[in-house]
Amino acid sequence: MRRLWVLSAVFLFLGMSAQAQTLRIGLASDPDALDPTISRTVAGRQVFAAMCDKLVDIDANLTIVPQLATAWTWQDDNRTLVLTLRPGVQFHDGSTMDSAAVVASLQRHLNLPGSTRKPEMGPIERIEASGPLEVRIHLSQPFAPLLAALSDRSGMIMSTKAAALSGADFAAHPVCAGPFRFVRRIAQDRMELERFPEYWDAKSIHFDRVIYFPIPDPTVRSVGLRGGTLDLIETVQPTDIPTLKADKRLQVMTGPSLSSYYIAVNIADGPRANTKIGQSEAVREALDLSIDRKALVDVAFEGLFIPGNQTVPPGSPFYVASIPVPGRDVARAKAVLKQAGFDRVTVQMTIPNSADYQQAAEVIQSMAADAGIDIQLVKTETATLLANWTSGDFESLLIQWSGRTDVDANLYNFNACGMALNGGHYCNPKLDEALNAGRSTTDMAQRMVAYTNAAQIYLKDRPYIYLWHPVLVFGATAKLDGLRVVPDSLIRFPGLQLKS
């Protein structure tokens, strides 16, 4: 309780010093590097939504809509994507966005060491500036997910000048073409942005400043909102919804989400993969069988969220309905362990240091114990957890993927051999074959045949155990107008304003 009072006092000071034209946003975690090419956190995506426009965007119906590109066409039997760029766009350093700048950014996504964008962009052979405001992306074969990838970080365009000057240090002062430009970042405290007057759609931007505060504790975020020191918070916990709704000064907005939460397992990445859960498919199966997904979301999230067993929820056009959400079977879980030669096993699970993760993890821990699996929980900061995931310094971990409009981006980079987000180094050539088949055709029926084949492999191998899909819940001051809840969870600023 003392911690809440201290943090409330800090918020009060910040609120007193903030101007009316400042939007103060409480984030659920601290971003990693503010570099679109290497970033991998959902918190980073939130900040990029204010700083870095993309070639295309999505709307609330998941339809691709123009942003920095005003039009696009497929040519050469879907092997060439032609993009027409928006004229008159400036980067935050005053340089002009043209086809050369777009080509440079896309090449950076493809070639920068440590890029997490390259696998998302598919079999690109070359990218050319075919006119001052026209770019052609040439593929070796059709790649259905490309436009969807360009609606996220792969489509964020950076100042060529700034990227060249800063090199690997671009994240320290990112320069893009969004409505707000970077001012400063105080580690684990805040990120400050200011309005960019030369933004191409400046008339729709109504704030002079945006300040993001990473606040992992959802209760503290709600305290900040109710106290008037935050204007908008993400990831409101279901238990806080009634309290916020009862306050006439506030509003609660909900919507569907693309996100999934899952347990990731270190299968083959270094010495920390040499564990019972990492080396035994039976242990992973037993853990999966021990979990009652409906009870989990009922207990941890007031029943608001959706139980799941794949990267997309039941009902999605990409969901493999022939492999439905499994029920809990403790007897079978024990039998599977016994057949593998285990009476009880111990599993270390790393979780982000926020209350919602801890609550869910403790429910999983209790369920697993009934089946003979003792889970040791280790809490850490989200960016550190992701860094450890990348380096192989984990046994298992509980984490969220914010989800994408095309299922390829949920699967390929995480499961295909050697990909950047495949932190556990899982590798199955048969799965790679199925995933490549799914991404190399634009025919939806053929894609679903491929993704059904893929699901039969990765859901048996279990490098990830998918658990639930959240509902997006934002809390805001009642004065905030124009917030659009889009399934990718990102806060979009055109039209967003505080009513007097």
**DSSP annotation string for 146-174:** HHHHHTTGGGB---HHHHHHHGGGGGGS-
Provide CB contacts within 8 A for 407, sequence distance 6+.
311, 312, 316, 318, 438, 451
Same domain, 203 and 88: no
Based on the fold, state whether residues 65 and 212 are members of the same structural domain. no
The DSSP bridge partners found for residue 195 are 180
Question: What φ, ψ does residue 203 adopt, rounded to 5°?
Answer: -65, -20
DSSP label at residue 404: -
Beta carbons of 465 and 308 less than 8 angstroms apart: no
Does 38 map to a domain?
A: no
CATH number at residue 441: 3.10.105.10
Is 147 part of a structural domain of the chain? yes
Which run of H or of E encompasses 129?
strand 124-131
Tell me the pLDDT of the chain (500 aa) as tens digits.
434 434 544 444 444 444 459 999 999 999 999 999 999 899 999 999 999 999 999 999 999 999 999 999 999 999 999 999 999 999 999 999 999 999 999 999 999 998 999 999 999 999 999 999 999 999 999 999 999 999 999 999 999 988 886 666 899 999 999 999 999 999 889 999 999 999 999 999 999 999 999 999 999 999 999 999 999 999 999 999 999 999 999 999 999 999 999 999 999 999 999 999 999 999 999 999 999 999 999 999 999 999 999 999 999 999 999 999 999 999 999 999 999 999 999 999 999 998 889 999 999 999 999 999 999 999 999 889 999 999 999 999 999 999 999 999 999 999 999 998 999 999 999 999 999 999 999 899 999 999 999 999 999 999 999 999 999 999 999 999 999 999 999 999 999 999 97
340 and 461 housed in the same domain: yes
The answer to whether 115 and 125 are in contact (CB under 8 A) is: no
Alpha-carbon dihedral of residues 272, 276, 277, 278, nearest 10 degrees? 40
Judgement on whether residues 486 and 422 belong to the same structural domain of the protein: no
What is the pTM assigned to this prediction? Answer: 0.86
Considering the domain architecture, whether residues 273 and 127 belong to the same structural domain is answered as no
Length of the chain (residues)? 500
Same domain? For 159 and 209 the reply is no
Among candidate residues 206, 227, 231, 277, the one with its CA nearest the CA of residue 424: 277
Beta strands in 196-296 (DSSP E): 209-214, 232-233, 250-255, 260-265
| In a domain? residue 307 | yes
- DSSP structure class, residue 459: H
Question: What tens digit of pLDDT does each residue of 154-165 get?
Answer: 999 999 988 886
Q: Is residue 34 part of a domain?
A: no
Tokens read off for 462 = 């279990």
What residue type is assigned to position 266 of the chain? N
Say if residue 186 is in the same domain as residue 95. no
Q: State the Cα–Cα distance between residues 90 and 159, nearest whole angstrom.
A: 9
Q: How far, CA to CA in Å, does 288 sit from each of 200, 284, 336, 372?
A: 49, 6, 11, 12
Q: Are residues 150 and 298 in the same domain?
A: no
451 and 346 fall within a common domain: yes
Q: Give the Cα separation of 398 and 260 in Å (integer).
A: 11
CA 128 to chain centre: 29
- Locate 340 and state its tokens: 């593998």
Report the alpha-carbon distance of residue 279 to residue 273 in Å, rounded: 7
Instruction: Say what angle helices 218-226 and 355-370 make with each other, to 10 degrees.
Output: 150
Task: Give Cβ neighbours of residue 452 (< 8 Å, ≥ 6 apart).
Answer: 320, 322, 323
Q: Which domain holds residue 324?
A: 260-469
The dihedral region occupied by 432, where left means phi > 0, alpha psi between -120 and 50, and beta the remainder, is alpha
**Angstrom distances, CA of residue 302 to CA of 132, 471, 472:** 54, 12, 14
Can you give the pLDDT at residue 13? 44
Count of structural domains within the chain:
3
36: in domain? no
Task: Please tell me whether residues 237 and 311 are part of one structural domain.
Answer: no
156 closest CA partner among 215, 62, 89, 214: 89
Least Cα distance to 76 among 140, 135, 148 occurs for: 140
Return the closest-CA partner of residue 120 out of 459, 431, 483, 404. 404
Question: Are 155 and 149 within 8 A, CB to CB?
Answer: yes
The Cα 393–Cα 348 span in angstroms is: 12
Domain boundary among 134, 163, 192: 163
**How many H-runs (helices) and E-runs (strands) does the chain carry?**
16, 21
Q: Are strands 22-27 and 232-233 parallel, antiparallel or unpaired?
A: parallel
244: Cβ–Cβ under 8 A, 6 or more apart, which residues?
Answer: 222, 225, 226, 236, 250, 252, 475
Q: What is the CATH number of the domain that holds 149?
A: 3.90.76.10
CATH code assigned at 220:
3.40.190.10
Asked if the structure places residue 354 within a domain, the reply is yes
- The three-class DSSP label of residue 48 is helix
How many Å from the N-terminal Cα to the C-terminal Cα in the chain? 34
Domain co-membership, 278 together with 365: yes
Task: Give domain status of residue 73, yes or no.
Answer: yes
For residues 307 and 214, membership in a common domain is answered with: no
The pLDDT of residue 15 is 46
Would residue 80 count as lying in a domain? yes
Structural tokens at position 308: 């799941």
Q: Annotate 39-64 with b (16+ C-beta within 10 A) or e (fewer).
A: bbbbbbbbbbbbbbbbbbbbeeebeb
Using a CB cutoff of 8 Å and minimum separation of 24, what contacts does 444-450 make? 444/317, 447/144, 448/318, 448/320
